[in-house]
Amino acid sequence: MATSKRSIPRESDGLHAESKLTRVEGKPRHVAALILARGGSKGIPLKNIKVLAGVPLLGWVLRAAKDSEKFQSVWVSTDHDDIEKVAKAYGAEVHRRSPEVSKDSSSSLDTIREFVRLHPEITVVCHIQATSPCLHPFHLAEAVEMITEKGFDSVFSVVRSHQFRWKEVKKGSGEITKPFNLDPSKRPRRQDWDGELCENGSFYCSTIKSLDETGNTQGNKVVYYEMLPEYSVDIDVDIDWPVAEQRVLRYGYFGRATPEVVRLMFCNVSGCLTEGRIFLSVSGEEMVSINTRDTMGIRMLQKEEMEVVLLTSDLDPVSQLLADKLAKRTGCKVMQVGEEPLNDLKPLVEQKNLGWKDVAYMGCDKQDVNCLNLAGLSAVPRDAPKVAINATKYTCHNAGGMGAVREFAEHILLLKEKAKSQMEQHRINRNNF
């Protein structure tokens, strides 16, 4: 069987090229990504939109699917209003599934069949599991190409396992256990054994023709796609969550931003550096507080040659005074913005010959939505309203004024370090060809 297990895409892969439009049985090929996200998860309530490493779980796979540029449409099938809102915030179309396929007993196959029946224009469907947050665009691009360019009917993801398996013995049966995949007298070393291929559940792609003929997504001319273990993350129960979060921070796909070259960050003072409360002294003076961890976060970014611009509003004179004091301490520029910050910030970004993908932005409310969407790296504090959380690429664990800015700074620096590491590994891999 064919297999692909590169951990880092090569320039020659052309991962962002458009899929070839060919004609399939008299109609244009339409490749659709489909994520099933029911609201009634029993293991972790509303698991599909719970925030993992600053991003709703569903957002990780939607981002990878959109950026693979191999799908004519990206869909989320759901029965829940909150899941629908998150799906749309990440640019997906929404299929409201029927009650018949929204039960605990409903299978994924039943839901996929309902979807393709109601969307007859689709010729290839790729069912992507929402619980696989370490998927990258190149995984999906290469898998889809196995169908669209190499002629396979079905492709599914696997991971290589080196686990020795034994037969289960029922308690009190008196049976003797036996090995399934090894000879105990000739136990192989790991490096001398290829291991076994196990489904990791990340995705199952199939032509609609094959699905109709065989009744499943692994029919006719089948091929597997091998993923490396670091990308094979699945979340079923609570105990999986913290492990998955650490894995995603190291191996997840954070979008097309290039954090190693980001040189400009905009940060709202009110709501990000402050906690949103104003204190009144006995004499009637207004005061706000800041967290020293946040000012240290700004200095950490400046040490990496990133310019930090503090944003204020004429409606909040107290924050303006605070920003001026911070500017003297840290050397940050202070800029006053109106109701739509994007209008004021666009000229500055253009003046510095930057694109918005090269900008980091930290906001906290509805007026920041356009900037949060455009910026290559963006964040909001934990206590931001939903409209801002749905627009951002990272939601902090900390609230505004309580270390959120420091957390976002550490997140940026982690991504920069990760990007450098991947570029170095890419260079080593290329030299080995």
Q: What is the pLDDT of residues 123-177, one digit of tens each?
A: 999 999 999 999 999 999 999 999 999 999 999 999 999 999 999 998 888 889 9
Residue of 26, 9, 50, 15 lying closest to 389 (CA atoms): 50
> In whole angstroms, what is the distance from residue 348 CA to residue 338 CA?
14
23 pairs with which residues across the strands? 28
**Res 343 pLDDT > 70:** yes
Per-residue model confidence as pLDDT tens digits over 63-111: 999 999 999 999 999 999 999 999 998 899 999 999 888 888 889 999 9
Q: How confident is the model at residue 8, as a pLDDT?
A: 33
* pTM for this prediction: 0.71
**Beta carbons of 415 and 254 less than 8 angstroms apart:** yes
**Beta carbons of 313 and 337 less than 8 angstroms apart:** yes
**Beta carbons of 109 and 217 less than 8 angstroms apart:** yes
The residue with greater pLDDT, 52 or 320, is 52
The residue with greater pLDDT, 46 or 425, is 46
Domain ranges in the chain?
11-251, 259-419
**Res 225 pLDDT > 50:** yes
**Res 421 pLDDT > 70:** no
- Which CATH number applies to 259-419? 3.40.50.1000
How distant, in Å, are the alpha carbons of 63, 156, 163, 181, 205 from that of 159? 22, 10, 12, 17, 16
> Which residue do the tokens 């670091």 mark?
230
Query: What is the CATH architecture assignment of 11-251?
Result: Alpha-Beta Complex (3.90)
For residue 233, what are its two tokens?
A: 């993350």
> Which residue do the tokens 């049985």 mark?
25
For residue 360, what are its two tokens?
A: 């980091």
Question: What are φ and ψ of residue 358, in 5° steps?
Answer: -95, 10
**Beta carbons of 111 and 36 less than 8 angstroms apart:** yes
Q: Please count the residues of the chain.
A: 433
The percentage of residues in the chain with a pLDDT greater than 70, rounded to a whole number, is 87
> Which residue do the tokens 């869909």 mark?
75
Q: How confident is the model at residue 291 (pLDDT cuts 50, 70, 90)?
A: confident
**Res 283 pLDDT > 80:** no
Average pLDDT in the chain? 85
**Res 211 pLDDT > 70:** yes
If you average pLDDT over residues 3-10, what whole number do you get?
38
> In whole angstroms, what is the distance from residue 122 CA to residue 208 CA?
7
**Res 253 pLDDT > 70:** yes
**Comparing 11-251 with 259-419, is the CATH topology the same?**
no
Q: How confident is the model at residue 396, as a pLDDT?
A: 93
The percentage of residues in the chain with a pLDDT greater than 90, rounded to a whole number, is 55
> In whole angstroms, what is the distance from residue 206 CA to residue 123 CA?
9
Q: How confident is the model at residue 15, as a pLDDT?
A: 31
Q: How confident is the model at residue 320 (pLDDT cuts 50, 70, 90)?
A: confident
**Res 52 pLDDT > 50:** yes
Q: How confident is the model at residue 102, as a pLDDT?
A: 84
**Beta carbons of 274 and 400 less than 8 angstroms apart:** yes
Contacts 24+ apart (CB under 8 A), 40-43: 40/79, 40/102, 40/104, 42/104, 43/236, 43/237, 43/238
Q: How confident is the model at residue 16, as a pLDDT?
A: 33
If you average pLDDT over residues 334-356, what whole number do you get?
92
> In whole angstroms, what is the distance from residue 203 CA to residue 226 CA?
11
Q: How confident is the model at residue 328, as a pLDDT?
A: 85
Q: How confident is the model at residue 40, as a pLDDT?
A: 73
Active site residue 38: no
Q: How confident is the model at residue 25 (pLDDT cuts 50, 70, 90)?
A: low
Q: How confident is the model at residue 308 (pLDDT cuts 50, 70, 90)?
A: very high
Residue of 365, 306, 300, 311 lying closest to 337 (CA atoms): 311
Q: How confident is the model at residue 261 (pLDDT cuts 50, 70, 90)?
A: low
**Beta carbons of 129 and 61 less than 8 angstroms apart:** yes
Q: How confident is the model at residue 12, as a pLDDT?
A: 31
Residue of 33, 303, 218 lying closest to 144 (CA atoms): 33
The residue with greater pLDDT, 15 or 308, is 308
Catalytic: which of 10, 96, 187, 250? 187
DSSP 308-363: EEEEE-TT-HHHHHHHHHHHHHH--EEEE--SSHHHHHHHHHHHTT--GGGEEEE-
- The H or E element containing residue 245 is helix 240-251
HSE value, Cβ hemisphere, 13 Å, CA-based, for 127: 25
